A and B are shown apart, each in its own frame.
Chain A
Amino acid sequence: MTSQANLATPTLRAVIGRIIPADQDPGALDLGADNYVIARLLENEPLSQSIQHGLVQLDTAAHRRFGSAFNQLPPSEQDKLITLDQHTKWFAALAELTAEGFYADPANGGNRDALSWRMIGYEHRLPDGPNGPMPKADYER
């Protein structure tokens, strides 16, 4: 079984950081989308395996092509490597999960203070805040 420690690697975080990069607005890592991704992967062993495998190969390619670990490369070189993998199943799944966390309600853990909604201009207009009424236990999940 995959553990949190197996998953939370610098390569995973670096890739997530390029899936939704920071610019004038926060990126995936700034809002906690990496934590959201890890939480989902811990529930899905087959997907977790395939993504870990993909990340190892990505890192190998980084060493071969640029002589450095993926997470040490400048963004432009990271993007070149990701482009080669962008249609693989594991990367597409990782991109989907990252975007889910980043654009979903803050209680899902990847959209701190609903900042992605502020960026795109979505208004929730709920009397109780962005997540609607929440039992306390849910917050702690």
Chain B
Amino acid sequence: MSADYDCIIVGAGAGRTIVAALLAEAGKRVLLVERGREMSYARDGRRDHLRNQRLSSHGHNAGPDVDGNPRVFVAQDGTEHIVRPHEPGYHNNAAAVGSGTVVYGAQAWRFLPDDFRMASRYGVPQGSSLTDWPIGYADLAPFYEQAEQQIGAAGDSLGNRQQGPRGADYPMPPVAQHHSAATLQRGAAALGMNSFTPPLLINTIPHAGRAACIGCGSCVGFPCPSNAKNGTQNTMLPRALATGNCELLPNTMVTSIDTDASGKVTGVTLLADEDGTPQRRGVTADAVVVSGGAIESARLLLLSRSARHPDGLGNANGQVGRHLQGHYYPSIYGWFDQDVHDDDGPGVTIATTDFNHGNDGIIGGGMLADDFIMLPAIFRKTALPPDLPRWGQPAKDFMRDGYRRVLSIKGPVHEIPSPDARVSLDSRVTDRFGLPVARLSGTTHPETVQTARFMFERARDWMTASGATRVWGREPGLQLSAGQHQAGTCRMGDRPEASVTDQWGRVWGHDNLFVCDASLHPTNGGFNPVLTIMALAFRNGAHLASQL
């Protein structure tokens, strides 16, 4: 009997819509299943400053819902907490068609050549699972270019002196720099640092039939008013659907990957959720691609237990869910005696990659950049000096005088992973469908804290050299990270004993089961990860299209 589809793709986020488009354009019949809903600016563009993917004090705008989707977080002292999506310890990214890419900040970084060979360059600290990628920068470079060209990136092609060799220039010019960048540029020059405008997946000019950015003051966390922000939902998804070969099923959860008696993957079980009464059904396919994000992809493999695979699919060596990582994000704030604020969104305008590698006695490092425009509520919650009272005249004066005089420098640190930072299934807590939820435990390797503190000091130097008269921030401490940059839980590698997939994302021991999302990253670079996720999807999607 022939299968319902050539390929089923679980999750419609950053990676898999690309795979869907490549397969559908190659004539394959594709089913794309997403537990979240479709979003549009008209319906979902509401700027709720307290319920969004950037500040989720009381919920999110891009899912998942507050109720029915818990996780269990195990703190460093061993205490367990049931957490809802907007609460600390949940490590949410998003659940929607396009996932985080509908509302992201769209920073579009290529990793540097040395990011792919951390173990070779630095050695492996005891107890860590630092490793090289099974592929190098040169293998990914053509696909970084495809992502930049086809999703639509704007940047300064020559600005980043540390970058690996590139072919084509960015298809659009970088965002304009204003006086916050000029202020920080002075500091960079005083320190002899190379600084430049960071690349963004944003239309700085009209592009691909859509308008340019109108510079609104609330980019990150929200859908775009001019549809200038390039996510997968407005680029690759329309391409996939235009072929007529790709069917999109939103509001539908994949609850297991199904196998036959011989252990071969045959399809998935779906639970549709549209009108509140769950409907369960099975669909078959010649191949399944799991792309649920690093936490949910691991959870789904673990949930797909059977007599033949008692510990879940691809988990014969106990690797699924381990090496969970994200990014420490050391942040520095500085007070200037004059107005340094820019009103033009998105806000992030200047970066340096001088400290990603080659720091004495430090493993790796990270990129540093200024911040997106901070919404007033975010500024109040994160930017106040630690010794300032949170009430009364001093707090009000600080907001009034400081909002336009404070700048922030921050950046993602290349983490040193630990096998003990992991996603497992909780044995007690279930979601609204009765399925065991993800249980998050452990921390990164402590060596990450050294790198993060080093980067914190570099941010401080840069801020001070730029003329800030007062500088503050919170010292990084040991933590589990995952969150919006979650990665690493189904790492690819050369050996089944130490990884979950081969270099194409094919799960060891299963010819027709693939992972395609940030779960694959053996290490997560010192950069926001999405362009790397997209590049891997272009590479692995083309490979899969040639195999099916």
Residues in chain A within 8 A of chain B (CB atoms): 18-21, 23, 25, 27, 40, 79, 82, 86, 91-92, 95-96, 98-100, 103-105, 107-108, 116-117, 119-128, 130-135, 138
CB-contact partner of A120 in B216, B389, B390, B400, under 8 A: B400
Central interface residue in B47, B377, B379, B403, by most chain A CB within 10 Å: B47
Decide: B377 and A103 in contact? CB cutoff 8 A: yes
CB-contact partner of B48 in A27, A40, A105, A125, under 8 A: A105
- Tally the A-B contacts, defined by beta carbons under 8 Å: 115
Q: Which B residues are in CB contact (< 8 Å) with A79?
A: 392
Decide: B399 and A103 in contact? CB cutoff 8 A: yes
Min CB distance B501 to A, Å, is: 40
Decide: A138 and B46 in contact? CB cutoff 8 A: yes
Of chain B, the residue at the smallest CB distance from A124 is B217
Decide: B377 and A121 in contact? CB cutoff 8 A: no
The answer to whether A100 and B393 touch (CB under 8 A), given A124-B217, A132-B225, is no
| 10 residue pairs from A and B, CB less than 8 Å apart | A20-B396, A91-B391, A95-B390, A96-B381, A103-B380, A103-B399, A119-B399, A123-B217, A125-B214, A132-B47
Decide: B225 and A127 in contact? CB cutoff 8 A: yes
In Å, the complex CA distance between A135 and B42 comes to 9
Of chain A, the residue at the smallest CB distance from B373 is A122
Interface size class for chain B?
A: 35 or more
In Å, the complex CA distance between A130 and B222 comes to 13
In Å, the complex CA distance between A40 and B379 comes to 21
Q: Which B residues are in CB contact (< 8 Å) with A98?
A: 391
B465 interfacial by beta-carbon distance below 8 Å: no
Decide: A132 and B392 in contact? CB cutoff 8 A: no
Min CB distance B388 to A, Å, is: 12
In Å, the complex CA distance between A99 and B222 comes to 21
CB-contact partner of A135 in B43, B214, B381, under 8 A: B43
Q: Which B residues are in CB contact (< 8 Å) with A131?
A: 46-48
CB-contact partner of A86 in B46, B389, B399, under 8 A: B389
In Å, the complex CA distance between A133 and B381 comes to 25
CB-contact partner of A23 in B57, B391, B395, B396, under 8 A: B396
In Å, the complex CA distance between A120 and B222 comes to 22
Decide: B218 and A126 in contact? CB cutoff 8 A: yes
CB-contact partner of B392 in A18, A104, A123, A135, under 8 A: A18
Q: Which A residues are in CB contact (< 8 Å) with B216?
A: 124-126
Q: Which A residues are in CB contact (< 8 Å) with B396?
A: 20-21, 23, 25, 27
Q: Which B residues are in CB contact (< 8 Å) with A125?
A: 214-217, 343, 345
Q: Which B residues are in CB contact (< 8 Å) with A18?
A: 391-392
Of chain A, the residue at the smallest CB distance from B58 is A40
Decide: B390 and A99 in contact? CB cutoff 8 A: yes
Decide: B392 and A126 in contact? CB cutoff 8 A: no
CB-contact partner of A133 in B46, B341, B391, under 8 A: B46
Q: Which A residues are in CB contact (< 8 Å) with B403?
A: 120-122
CB-contact partner of B47 in A23, A92, A120, A124, under 8 A: A124
Q: A79-B392, A122-B217, A124-B216 are in contact. List 8 more A-B contacts (CB 8 A).
A: A20-B395, A91-B391, A104-B48, A107-B48, A117-B376, A120-B404, A133-B43, A138-B46
B75 interfacial by beta-carbon distance below 8 Å: no
In Å, the complex CA distance between A82 and B396 comes to 16
In Å, the complex CA distance between A18 and B393 comes to 8
Q: Which A residues are in CB contact (< 8 Å) with B50?
A: 100, 104, 108
Min CB distance A52 to B, Å, is: 18
Central interface residue in B57, B218, B376, by most chain A CB within 10 Å: B376
Q: Which B residues are in CB contact (< 8 Å) with A100?
A: 50, 57, 377, 380
In Å, the complex CA distance between A36 and B381 comes to 17
In Å, the complex CA distance between A23 and B401 comes to 14
Q: Which A residues are in CB contact (< 8 Å) with B316?
A: none
B41 interfacial by beta-carbon distance below 8 Å: yes
Decide: B390 and A96 in contact? CB cutoff 8 A: yes
Decide: A128 and B400 in contact? CB cutoff 8 A: no
B49 interfacial by beta-carbon distance below 8 Å: yes
In Å, the complex CA distance between A130 and B389 comes to 28
Decide: B225 and A126 in contact? CB cutoff 8 A: yes
Q: Which B residues are in CB contact (< 8 Å) with A27?
A: 396
Mark out the residues of chain B between 202 and 232 whose CB falls within 8 Å of any chain A CB in the assembled complex: 214-218, 222, 225
Q: Which A residues are in CB contact (< 8 Å) with B435?
A: none
The answer to whether A92 and B390 touch (CB under 8 A), given A105-B49, A120-B403, A131-B47, is yes
Mark out the residues of chain B between 47 and 79 whose CB falls within 8 Å of any chain A CB in the assembled complex: 47-50, 57-58
Central interface residue in B46, B375, B379, B396, by most chain A CB within 10 Å: B396
In Å, the complex CA distance between A99 and B375 comes to 13
Q: Which A residues are in CB contact (< 8 Å) with B43?
A: 133, 135
Of chain A, the residue at the smallest CB distance from B44 is A133
Decide: A120 and B399 in contact? CB cutoff 8 A: yes
